[in-house]
Amino acid sequence: MSINFRDKVVVVTGGAMGIGEATARKFAELGAAVAILDVNADAGQKTAHTLGKEARAEFYACNVGSPVEVEQAVASVIRDFGGIDVLVSNAGIQRYGDVIGTTEELWDEVMAVNLKGCFHSAKHVVPSMKKRGGGAIVVVGSVQCFTAVGNSAAYVTAKHALLGLVRAMSLDYAQQNIRVNCVCPGAIDTPMLRWAASLDANPEKVLATCDRMHALGRMGKPEEVASAIAFLASDWASFITGAALMVDGGMLVPTGGMGFQEGGTGAATKT
């Protein structure tokens, strides 16, 4: 059995750029019709246009933080494509601050996009999946579903909460043959990561550190996350639900982090 999504309709939120764009491309290559929901109309239309050369792909302007916009966009997708089989809840933003430095507006912005965006999307997509006899939801979490980085209180909180939402939905819809899983990427080379690095006085040093954080010694590529998402959405993952799949190049494996592995107890005896 090979993985293919022929006759399947896939919605990718945040599908204009980065991991979402690579995911939309992956599903198009695998035969799906793809609907991209994104706030960035220029980039979204461009991505849909390039995908449209190999598959049916449409762009829908949508801020996932807005319940009304999500409801309208999902209704448009169902009208245009006839239903939805796969939801990739990927749209997210990165914002920085500890709780003192985080304004309520910034906190609400992060929760609206990174957490409620998934809630709104699933709320409107799941009824269509039920009608079609099943489906798959893949949520793009982060290693920060499990761990924290400093000065990122809202982002870390939203990512931890997403995992709870994944587990809750996996139980609620298991009987309807709807599987719900999460991918947890490490540092992935996307516009978001490049922007985050650019905030530092020495972006190149940040990027080099991002490489070294992973046991594999490099950052991930958006396509590598897209492959994991496609796997979880496919029949190859037919007995997987409520799971969190690390796509982190081994980032969370080493006790004490990579620095300890290189210089800590026992490292000198390594062959």
Positions touching ligand NAD (CB under 6 A) are: 13-14, 16-20, 38-40, 43, 62-65, 90-93, 113, 140, 142, 185, 187-188, 190-193
Least separation in angstroms between residue 198's CB and ligand NAD is 12
Least separation in angstroms between residue 103's CB and ligand NAD is 18
Give the side-chain half-sphere CA count within 13 A for 152: 17
Instruction: Tell me whether residue 96 is one of the annotated catalytic residues.
Output: no
Measure the CA–CA gap between 78 and 117, rounded to whole angstroms: 18
Residue 95 DSSP SS3: coil
Residue 165 contacts by C-beta under 8 Å, 6 or more apart in sequence? 115, 118, 119, 122, 139
Give how far Cα 118 sits from Cα of 31, 52, 207, Å. 25, 26, 29
Least separation in angstroms between residue 53's CB and ligand NAD is 20
Give how far Cα 63 sits from Cα of 112, 146, 224, Å. 10, 26, 26
**Cβ closer to ligand NAD: 64 or 136?**
64
**Cβ closer to ligand NAD: 4 or 252?**
252
Least separation in angstroms between residue 38's CB and ligand NAD is 4
Residue 19 contacts by C-beta under 8 Å, 6 or more apart in sequence? 90, 140, 185, 188, 190, 222, 225, 226
**Cβ closer to ligand NAD: 176 or 223?**
223
**Cβ closer to ligand NAD: 132 or 160?**
160
- The residue behind tokens 């609400």 is 108
Q: Enumerate the active-site residues.
A: 155
